[in-house]
Structure 1
Amino acid sequence: MPDYTLLARQLEALLDTRDWLTNTAQTCAFIVQEVADLNWAGFYLQRQPETLILGPFQGKPACNPIPFDKGVCGAAARSRQTQRVDDVHGIADHIACDAASRAELVVPIIVGERIWGVLDLDSPRAARFSVDDQAGIERLVEVFIDASDFDRER
C-alpha cells in the first residue's frame, strides 16, 4: 500500500502553480505513477447543470458526458460523497468505458458550496481500493484543492 502521507507531501511540492488545469493534469499523472493497479485516473468537471464533462486524465479514451443520475461518478457528484466500489459490474447503472475495469474509487471535489467535479480512479483488479486507499486519495484531493485557484476557471 502506498504511503499516502508521503504522497501528499510529494504532491504538495509538485503542484507549484495555482492553475487548476495544470494541477489536474499533474495530479492524475502523479497518481498513475505512484498508485499501483490503476488503468485510468482522471477528472470529470461540472460545466453543465447536473452533468460531468471529461477533464484531464491518464488512460484509455473515456466516456463523456456523464449525467449526475448515472454511474459511479454521477453518484459521487449527486451525493457529494466518495464512492468506493469493489466490482463495478454489480452496479446496475455503471457506465462501462473500459470493460477491463473492475473496481472504482470516485472522490467529489467540492469548492465552496458547489460540486466542482470528481476525481475518478479505475482498476482492473476487483476490490482494489481499501478504506485506507480511500482516505489517502481523499487527502490527495484536499492537496489539489488547496493548491488550486478556481475563481478564474470560466
Structure 2
Amino acid sequence: MLDDASGTLAQWITSRAPQGIHVTGHSQGGAQAQVLSAVMSDRDVPIASVTTFNPAGISRDVGNLANPSLIGAVEHRVSAGDIVSLAGRTYLDGDVVIYDLDTIDLSSPWALWSHILTAHVDQWSREGLYDLTSGYSTPVAPTPRSGEPVVVAG
C-alpha cells in the first residue's frame, strides 16, 4: 500500500514542484516529515529542505532509504529536555540546533512534567492554528506563550 500511495504522491509532487518541496513538522509530525522526505528521495523526488521541531526519530530502515543527493538542507530544532526527541532510532542527516528554554521552572518535579505536558497539548489547543475560514490562503500565526521567542520569517 505504501508503494502505491507514495508513487501517486511522488507524481503529484514532481508535477507541481519539480525543484522539490519544503517539508516541516513538529513532534510526531517531525518524524513524519523525515519519513516523507526519505521515502520520496528514494523514489527520485527532490526535497528542497526539511525542518523539524522537537521531532521524534525514525527507524534506521526508513532513514537508510534517504538519498542525500536529493535532499536539501536538513535542520532539526530541539529544545533541551524534550522527551519526544528521545524516541526513534535515527534522524535524517543534517544540522541539529539545541536550545534551552529558560522558561522551564525546575524547582519541583511537577513543574517539569507540567511543562512537558503543556508544551505539547498547548500547541494543539491553539485555535489560530486551525483557522478554516481563511481557506488556507493566509498564514495564521499562533500567539506565543509567555517567554516564547517570536520569530518572523519573511
Structure having the larger proportion of residues in helix:
2
Name the TM tier (shorter chain).
Answer: under 0.3
Between the two structures, name the one with larger relative contact order (CA 8 Å, sep ≥ 6): 1
TM-score (norm 2): 0.25
TM-score (norm 1): 0.25
Structure having the larger proportion of residues in strand:
1
- Please identify the structure whose Cα radius of gyration is greater: 2
